[in-house]
Amino acid sequence: MDRLPRILALSLVLTLLASAEPLAAQDRTGDAPRDSVRRDAHPRHYWRRMAAGFATSLLAHESAHVVTALAVGGHPSFGFSKGRPTVYSGLDAVTQPREQFLFSSMGLNVQALIDEAILDVPHQRGGAFERGMLAGGIATALFYVTIGRTASVSDVDFMARTSSLSKTDISLIYGGVAVMHAVRIHYDGHYANFFVRPAPFGERGLRIGAHVR
C-alpha cells in the first residue's frame, strides 16, 4: 500500500505546460543554456517548472506501484486509509509476499533510478524541472525512512513484513541512496543554490525576496 497524493491529476497538466517550451541550445562555455537561464529566472517559469518536476516524480512513484501490481497479477485500486488517499495492490501479503514486496518497493526504486539517470546521463543539466524531479525523489525517500516508516500503509513497513529485511535495513538502503544523491548534487556546480531562483542572464548574484507591482 502507499499514499496517493492528490496532486497526481494536477501533475499531468503541469508536466504538459513544462514541456511546451523547446530546450535552448548550450552556449560555447558549456555552462547552462543562456535562454534557459533567462526563462527559468522568471518567477512564474522557474517555480512552475520546479513544481512540475516535483509532481512528476510523485506521479512516477505511484505509477510504478500500479504497473507493478498489474504485472504480478494484482488488481490495484484506490481508496482511503484514515482519510489519506491510498493505492491498494490487490495482493495477499501473506500468500504472495514476493509480489507484495515488489509492489511496495517499486515506487522508491523508480524514483531512485530516475534521480540516478539525471545525475549520470550527459545532458544540459541544472534546469528547474529536473531540480524538482531530484527534490521529489530525495524528499520521498527521506519521508519513508523517517516519519513515514511506521504508518499503517508504509512502503517500508510492508517491505519489512514481506522479506528478511528489517525496517532499519530498508531505511539504511533507501536513505543511503537519497543521501548519496544529495551529496552529489551539493558538489555539482550545475545545481548550486538549489532552491534559489537564479538572476536573469547578464546580472550577477541571486535574486532573493519579493517583487510587488
Determine the 3-state secondary structure of 152 from DSSP: coil
Torsion of CA 44, 49, 51, 52, to 10 degrees: 130
Tell me the pLDDT band of 26, cut-offs 50, 70 and 90: very low
pLDDT attached to residue 147: 87
How far is residue 208 from each of residues 1, 6, 32, 112, measured CA to CA in Å?
40, 30, 20, 31
For the cut 50, the answer to whether the pLDDT of residue 117 exceeds it is yes
For the cut 80, the answer to whether the pLDDT of residue 35 exceeds it is no
pTM for the structure as a whole: 0.73
DSSP H helices, 82-147, are 97-120, 128-144
pLDDT attached to residue 212: 52
For the cut 70, the answer to whether the pLDDT of residue 14 exceeds it is no
What are 107-116's pLDDT values in tens digits? Answer: 999 999 999 9
For the cut 50, the answer to whether the pLDDT of residue 24 exceeds it is no
Higher pLDDT, 86 or 154: 154
Q: What is the mean pLDDT of the chain?
A: 79
pLDDT attached to residue 151: 75
| For range 7-20, the mean pLDDT | 41
Query: What does the alpha-carbon distance between residue 93 and residue 75 come to, in Å, rounded to a whole number?
Result: 13
What cell does 90 get? 490487490
Query: What does the alpha-carbon distance between residue 170 and residue 154 come to, in Å, rounded to a whole number?
Result: 12
> Nearest Cα to 7, choosing from 67, 64, 51?
51
pLDDT attached to residue 4: 40
